[in-house]
Amino acid sequence: MHHPGGGPCTTGRGAVRHRAGTAPGSRGGTSRGTGSTLGPMNNNRGAAARGRVTGLPDWDRCGVMGVVNVTPDSFSDGGRWFDTTAAVKRGLDLVAQGADLVDVGGESTRPGASRVDEEEELRRVVPVVRGLASEGVAVSVDTMRAAVAARAVEAGAVLVNDVSGGLADPGMIPAVAAAEVPFVVMHWRGFSEGMNSLAVYEDVLGEVTAELRARVDAVVSGGIAPERIVVDPGLGFAKNAEHDLALVARLPELRALGFPLLVAASRKRFLGRVLAGAADTAPPPARERDAATAAVSAIAAHQGAWAVRVHEVRATADAVRVARAVEGAL
C-alpha cells in the first residue's frame, strides 16, 4: 500500500481524509470463501451487510466515490478538469462536499470513445493522484492499464478501479497483486468503440452475475486477495436502459456474489432515458441528471451497496446518510 503519511483529518461536511495506517477498525465484515472465492454475504441491512475492503476505511454507511475526469472528452464533464491544478482542486472540493474516495481517470470510457496512448494517460493522471494524496485524500485510479495503475499507486492511490476487470491488459492483475491494493472488478464485455453492439442478454442479471463470478475467480487465481476485491455491475457498459434498470432493481442478488458492491450510475444514459419519458423525447444533458443520480444512490445505499460513484457529491452524500439513518431506525 502506498498511503500518504500522517493521521486522519476532518474536512468539510464531516468527510475524513485518511492518511497512512488510518483505516478504522471493522464495524462488521462479510463471509468470503478463499477456496471457492465467492461466499454468501450477510443479507441484513447496515454496515455489516456492505462488507469491508482490506486497506480502505470501514464506513458505517454506503461510501461515496467522487469522480475527477482529467480528460477533454468525457461524456459529462470533459475538459472541465483537464489541468492538474484544476483537477486537484476539484478533488478537494468533492471531499469537502462529503466524498470518501476520489476516483481519478485520464481516459474516457463513454460509448464510442477512442483510447488514448499510455504516455498521455500517465501525464494526465499521475500528477493529480500525487497532488490529492499529498493532501491526505483517499484516491482511486480509474484505468485499464497496468503501468498507469502501478505508477498511480506509487503516487499514493489506494484503490485500482479497472472498468475491464483486468481483461484489457494482461499485466493488470499481477501489478495489482504485487501492489497489494484493493481492486474493482467491473462487468465488461469490450472496449467503448463497440460496446453498444454487445448489449445482448437473455437474462441480464443471470449473465452479469455469471460473468462477474468468472472474472473474480480469475482475479483471485491471479493473486489478488479476495478481501481486497470490490465488484461493479458495469451500468451503461454493454447495456441499454432496460438492462441497467433491471440490475439496479436487483442489487441484493448481485450482493449475493459475496463481495462489496460499487454502483456507478452517475449521469448515465439510462437516467436520461428515464427522465425523457417518451421514447421520441430527447433526454436531458448529462449535467442535468444529478438529482436522478442521487435517487439511485439512495436506492443503492438502501439495498446494501458498499459505495456509489458520482460526479456531483453533495446530494449523494446526503442521500446515503439518510439511507443509513433509516436503516438505523429499523
In Å, what is the CA distance from 322 to each residue of 32, 250, 254? 28, 21, 23
Q: Determine contact, residues 304/255, Cβ cutoff 8 Å.
A: yes
For residue 111, the cross-strand partners are none
Residue whose C-alpha is closest to residue 316's, from 289, 292, 288, 297: 297
The catalytically annotated residue of 110, 130, 239, 268 is 268
Q: Determine contact, residues 15/27, Cβ cutoff 8 Å.
A: no
Q: Is 17 annotated in the active site?
A: no
> In this predicted structure, what is the pLDDT of residue 233?
96
Instruction: Give the type of residue at 271.
Output: L
Q: Is 89 annotated in the active site?
A: no
> In this predicted structure, what is the pLDDT of residue 113?
65
In Å, what is the CA distance from 141 to each residue of 24, 55, 127, 129, 223? 22, 15, 12, 8, 20
- DSSP for residue 195: G
Q: Which residues of the chain have pLDDT under 50?
A: 1-44, 74-75, 77-78
Tell me the C-alpha distance between 319 and 218, whole Å.
35
Give the DSSP letter string of 73-123. Answer: --TTTTTTT-SHHHHHHHHHHHHHTT-SEEEEESS--STTPPPPPHHHHHH
Tell me the C-alpha distance between 231 and 249, whole Å.
17
Tell me the C-alpha distance between 315 and 219, whole Å.
34
> In this predicted structure, what is the pLDDT of residue 111?
62
pLDDT digits (tens, 9 = 90+) for 269-289: 999 999 998 888 999 999 999
Q: Determine contact, residues 103/161, Cβ cutoff 8 Å.
A: yes
The catalytically annotated residue of 309, 314, 321, 324 is 309
> In this predicted structure, what is the pLDDT of residue 3?
33
pLDDT digits (tens, 9 = 90+) for 58-115: 999 999 999 999 987 544 544 565 689 999 999 999 999 999 999 999 987 666 667 7
**What's the pTM?**
0.83
> In this predicted structure, what is the pLDDT of residue 114?
72
